[in-house]
């Protein structure tokens, strides 16, 4: 079965795959994770707000984003936002967003909806008694959230946040549709150039499996270590 395989193509392309493709994938993943968690936390606090209008805006955003395929959001932002931005500022030409900036903003906006639900569950897991105790000590809402609720919520949600980040790492491969050289894009260029599609895509699948499965095992161990005994 493997007699006609040219596995040397992987060795010849090793540096390009990892120094260019994988570096880009990890960079976009980390930046989107940080931005998504920050925006997701804000959205979670908005959803839990007693102001109905604020809560409805955040709820509508989360439900809308979670109902749309990510690849569609990528296309929308990349192709439509430059024209929408030009219309807003009154420019005659579409504004230049760039493939990387477009992808980063798209992933932050998309992943924030999922991080929001994780953070909302984490915030709601903190007992109301601790909230009332914070108020009893004279804290205002933001002090109570920053010093009492959010630190515990983050600890409870670390395993789930990391699991969602693994999903994000896999989803980053969708930037291939914009001809961006991520890990999959780099492998595709080599496969098309050398006519070795099977070898390259098989190698990509193995790399993703090893990384994601290994990270999943680490998350499982971390979950056991950070669990709060109640």
Show pLDDT as tens, one digit a residue, over the chain (230 residues): 455 677 777 878 888 889 999 999 999 999 999 999 999 989 998 998 888 999 999 999 999 999 999 988 888 888 887 887 778 777 778 787 778 888 898 999 999 999 999 988 888 888 778 878 877 888 877 788 778 888 888 777 888 888 999 999 999 999 988 888 899 999 988 888 878 888 888 899 999 999 999 999 888 887 777 655 44
Indicate the helix (H) or strand (E) that contains 79: helix 70-89
Number of Cα atoms under 13 Å in the Cβ half of residue 59:
10
Find, among 177, 43, 163, the residue nearest to 102 by Cα: 177
Residue 228 neighbours by CB distance under 10 Å: 8
Structure token digits, residue 215: 């990270």
In the chain, DSSP assigns E strands to none
Distance CA 195, CA 189 (A): 10
Coil, strand or helix at 98: coil
pLDDT at site 2: 54
Domains recognised in the chain with CATH numbers: 9-226 (1.10.3720.10)
């Amino acid at each position: 079965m493997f007699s006609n395989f040219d596995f040397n193509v992987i060795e010849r392309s090793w540096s390009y795959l990892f120094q260019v493709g994988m570096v880009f994938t990890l960079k976009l993943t980390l930046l989107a994770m940080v931005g998504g968690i920050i925006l997701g936390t804000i959205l979670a606090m908005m959803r839990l707000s007693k102001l109905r209008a604020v809560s409805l805006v955040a709820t509508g955003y989360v439900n809308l984003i979670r109902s749309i395929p990510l690849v569609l959001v990528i296309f929308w932002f990349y192709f439509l936002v430059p024209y929408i931005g030009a219309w807003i500022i009154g420019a005659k030409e579409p504004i230049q967003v760039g493939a990387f900036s477009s992808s980063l903003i798209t992933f932050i906006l998309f992943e924030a909806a999922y991080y929001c639900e994780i953070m909302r569950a984490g915030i709601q897991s903190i007992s109301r008694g601790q909230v009332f105790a914070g108020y009893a000590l004279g804290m205002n809402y933001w002090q109570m959230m920053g010093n009492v609720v959010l630190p515990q919520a983050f600890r409870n949600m670390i395993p789930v946040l990391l699991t969602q980040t693994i999903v994000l790492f896999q989803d980053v491969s969708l930037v291939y549709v914009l001809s961006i050289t991520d890990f999959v894009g780099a492998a595709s260029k080599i496969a098309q150039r050398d006519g070795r599609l099977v070898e390259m895509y098989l190698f990509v699948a193995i790399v993703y499996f090893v990384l994601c499965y290994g990270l999943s095992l680490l998350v499982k161990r971390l979950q056991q270590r950070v669990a709060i005994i109640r």
